[in-house]
Amino acid sequence: MRFALVPTLLLGAAVSTVTAAPQLERLAASDGDTVLAALQKQAEDALKQQEAAKEAVSKRGACHLGNAAIRRDWEHLSSPEKKDYIRAVNCLWDLPSVDPAFSAARNHFDDYVAVHMNQTNTIHGTANFLTWHRYLVYLWEQKLRNKCGYKGYLPYWNWFKYQTDLHQSPVFDGSDTSLGGDGQFFAHNGSVVGAGRIWLPSGAGGGCVKSGPFVNRTINIGPVQPAMQGYTPVFTDVKAYNPRCQRRDLTMAASTSTFTASNLLNVTLGLASATVGHFQDELQGSLGTLRLHGAGHYAMGGDGSDVFTSLNDPAFYLHHAMIDRVYWIWQLLHPAEANKVNGTITFRNNPPSRVGTVNDWLDMGKLGPQVQIKDVLNTLGGGPLCYIYL
Ligand SMILES: *[C@@H]1O[C@H](CO)[C@@H](O)[C@H](O)[C@H]1NC(C)=O
Ligand SMILES: *[C@@H]1O[C@H](CO)[C@@H](O)[C@H](O)[C@H]1NC(C)=O
Ligand SMILES: *[C@@H]1O[C@H](CO)[C@@H](O)[C@H](O)[C@H]1NC(C)=O
Ligand SMILES: *[C@@H]1O[C@H](CO)[C@@H](O)[C@H](O)[C@H]1NC(C)=O
Ligand SMILES: *[C@@H]1O[C@H](CO)[C@@H](O)[C@H](O)[C@H]1NC(C)=O
Ligand SMILES: [Cu+2]
């Protein structure tokens, strides 16, 4: 019964129009992964229409569907492709830091952690949240390609598969084609998340990641605000050097509660998809809620659960690629809202600040050139970006 629902939805190809409520209800009864596949198809149809319209008025630039990079599910990369990505991450980890201002950064991997930590309060709960992170993971992808010879593009972690047992996920299974497995068992009192309002029980880990290709790596910056209890001391200075292992606590309480068909539908076709403000707030998580963005971080646990320094977990980039993919799908399905931003320039407007605009600059320190938000709203146009998701 479940699978009969998807074709029903796809019969209506032109989905710039609102999907009928009964279809929404039927989809909501299927699982997240099925819904995601249906949404992907809708987004592709919308993309083809929008690109065809562009060509009709010859606005097509140097980047188009025929030459765009394709970002894929980690699971769908071949073993050699996965190993090439892992090799390139290790290569980047061995490159020197490019910014002496962040003295705790001992290598180029750390530079990304440092730039993010330094700006945490102006890139989350802000107008630039979606585009700042979009551009950051793009720079990471390009660095892997240009400095470390990676042949592919940034893969994403499909949250909806393996969410009931993350240990089986190709991203986290601990094999040499994963981004590492769970942490060693570390007795602790779960994680406190959702701005202190939600308690998640411990998983089976919490200590140093015990398997996979990055098992001997050292991380050097933070933690600042790990959600995981008992993970101390914390360092609030971006210059504080704190070498240690990377910790993880694969937490199914986060994934199964939040990676649901209904949450995905809400932000893509439902109430929360109507405006960019609703979309980003519902996707990101707010006081007392986990939401898709937060749930990915808390499902990783350990270092990945720290809003300041979650980039210490190399799976951060696959999680944020998935965030970006949902943003991309939403943009394609809501063209009238796709180029807008909503919010101010401080974390949930605290302290109060001006409203953000598409002319605001995205500051990446020494990771790459500054661009304006408007330059990265479209992954296929005008600015530096040229990619789609599959
Ligand atoms: C663990 O944390 C929860 C939530 O803060 C609290 O209710 C509980 O009492 C704590 N347990 C211990 C043993 O500290
Ligand atoms: C980690 O270090 C141990 C001990 O030196 C070594 O046996 C193992 O191969 C290393 N693993 C990786 C993935 O580098
Ligand atoms: C859907 O999103 C709306 C708007 O953000 C929110 O009020 C509502 O609680 C969400 N519904 C569910 C089921 O999460
Ligand atoms: C941002 O979106 C919210 C709804 O989420 C809306 O109430 C608010 O007016 C919007 N602000 C701006 C500046 O567009
Ligand atoms: C850290 O952030 C501040 C303000 O957000 C910025 O002015 C400064 O240049 C950043 N430091 C570095 C080294 O990028
Ligand atoms: Cu972030």
Measure CA 317 to chain center: 6
Name the H helices within the chain: 5-11, 21-28, 32-56, 79-94, 108-119, 129-148, 252-258, 261-268, 276-284, 291-300, 316-333
β-pairing, 219-221 with 206-209?
Answer: unpaired
Check: CB of residue 291 under 8 Å from CB of residue 258: yes
Residue entry with tokens 């199914």 = 252
Measure CA 71 to chain center: 13
Prediction pTM value: 0.91
CB-based pocket (< 6 A), ligand 5: 99, 101-102, 118-119, 122, 365
pLDDT at 9 over 70: no
**Is 213 a pocket residue for ligand 2 (Cβ < 6 Å)?**
yes
State pLDDT tens for residues 286-335.
Answer: 677 889 999 999 999 999 999 999 999 999 999 999 999 999 999 999 99
Ligand 5 atom 5, closest CA: 119
Nearest ligand to the CA of 263 is 3
Q: What domains are there in the chain, each with its CATH number?
A: 22-55+62-389 (1.10.1280.10)
Check: CB of residue 164 under 8 Å from CB of residue 175: no
β-pairing, 387-389 with 69-71?
Answer: parallel
Distance 327 CA to ligand 6 centre (A): 15
Asked, as a colleague might, if the bond just before 351 is cis with ω within 30 of 0, I would say yes
Query: pLDDT: is 288 or 209 the higher one?
Result: 209
Give the amino acid at 338: A
Q: Cα–Cα distance between 131 and 128 in angstroms, integer?
A: 5
Distance 140 CA to ligand 3 centre (A): 33
State pLDDT tens for residues 74-107.
Answer: 999 999 999 999 999 999 999 999 999 999 999 9
